[in-house]
Amino acid sequence: MSEPQPAPTRAPVTVPTVRAAKRRDGHAPLVMVTAYDAPGARVADAAEVDMILVGDSVANVVLGYEDTLQVTIADMAHHVAAVARAKPRPLIVGDLPWMSYHVDAADTVRNGAALIRAGAQCVKLEGGAVRAPMVEALVAAEIPVMGHIGLTPQSVNALGGFKVQGKGDEAARSLVEAARILESAGCFAIVVEAVPEKVGTAVTEAIEVPTIGIGAGPECDGQVLVMHDLLGMSGRTPKFVRRYAELELAAIEAVATYAADVRSGAFPADREAYH
């Protein structure tokens, strides 16, 4: 009988690995999911995703805010550090929150460094051509940057709501242009959110670095979802989300059973007491 073989050790995912993962060059689609704490990081790692985004969506799905504008760089560093302490193999992407990269390059680099020191291996920021100088400043400081175009939730007030972007030829062209500019500025990958499928495809075809879609169609080089959305724990289901579990319902059932057991005297039992 042959000896059981140890599970193969998976190499950590790095920025160069991700940068090279273009589907048209034969790479498998990249998988990114959000996580905001150590249990979330353990789940993402065990599920063998490629990247963990410590997203500012923590504001909506964990902290109970209406939008992402309320979280600060200190909040994000706190969550990045919690994820990093789980020592996951996927690449940790720290999301730069609103107003942490809008003032000047020095402030942007300081804030990027705060997330790197907390344990991120790269940062993500939202916006098109206007962000190119900040991307260049971060890259010059050895901080790899992921871009994010299309529906950029930090622009909710300027956009007048969470709406599909890139509708119409002109809007689609300007998203393709924004992606090219961000790539030239040094982004190693670009998230494309809530755009018509053909715009996701056009952006993906236009650039050499991978696109990570969220509501941007199947032709992107990878996909990202918010973990609490896909687990059925966020109380929301945007059109682009597929719910793979109903953990909120399962959690309610478990806690309600515990409550009933306490009230009936069924918990704790003898085996749950010290003697």
Does the active-site annotation cover 126? no
Q: Catalytic pick from 177, 193, 248, 253?
A: 193
CA-CA distance, 138 to 112, in Å (whole number)? Answer: 7
Residue closest to ligand KIV when measured from CB atoms: 55
Torsion of CA 42, 45, 47, 53, to 10 degrees: 100
Closest distance between ligand KIV and the C-beta of residue 214, in Å?
A: 5
Nearer to ligand KIV, 145 or 224 (CB): 224
Does 191 bind ligand KIV (CB under 6 A)? Our answer is yes
> Which residues within the stretch 218-237 sit at the binding site for ligand KIV (CB under 6 A)?
224, 226
User: First CA to last CA across the chain, in angstroms?
Assistant: 45
Secondary structure of 162-225 as H, E, C letters? CCCCCCCHHHHHHHHHHHHHHHHHCCCEEEEECCCHHHHHHHHHHCCCCEEEECCCCCCCEEEE
CA-CA distance, 34 to 44, in Å (whole number)? Answer: 8
- Closest among 138, 143, 136, 101 to 122, alpha carbons compared: 143
Does 53 bind ligand KIV (CB under 6 A)? Our answer is yes
Closest distance between ligand KIV and the C-beta of residue 92, in Å?
A: 13
Nearer to ligand KIV, 95 or 221 (CB): 95
Total of residues contacting ligand KIV (CB under 6 A) = 11
Nearer to ligand KIV, 13 or 226 (CB): 226
Structure-block tokens of residue 159? 């956009």
What is the pattern of x (binds ligand KIV, CB under 6 A) and - over residues 10-29? --------------------
Does 214 bind ligand KIV (CB under 6 A)? Our answer is yes
Nearer to ligand KIV, 168 or 188 (CB): 188
Closest distance between ligand KIV and the C-beta of residue 123, in Å?
A: 12
What is the pattern of x (binds ligand KIV, CB under 6 A) and - over residues 31-50? ---x----------------
Does 91 bind ligand KIV (CB under 6 A)? Our answer is no
Cα 86 → chain centroid? 17
Closest distance between ligand KIV and the C-beta of residue 191, in Å?
A: 5
Q: Which residues are 193's β-sheet partners?
A: 150, 214
Closest distance between ligand KIV and the C-beta of residue 117, in Å?
A: 20
SS3 for 150? strand
Structure-block tokens of residue 235? 């109380």
Torsion of CA 124, 56, 243, 30, to 10 degrees: 10
Closest distance between ligand KIV and the C-beta of residue 57, in Å?
A: 3
DSSP secondary structure of 32-99: EEE--SHHHHHHHHHTT-SEEEE-TTHHHHTT--SSGGG--HHHHHHHHHHHHTT--SSEEEEEPPTT
Binding site for ligand KIV (CB under 6 A): 34, 53, 55-57, 95, 191, 193, 214, 224, 226
Indicate which residues carry an active-site annotation: 193
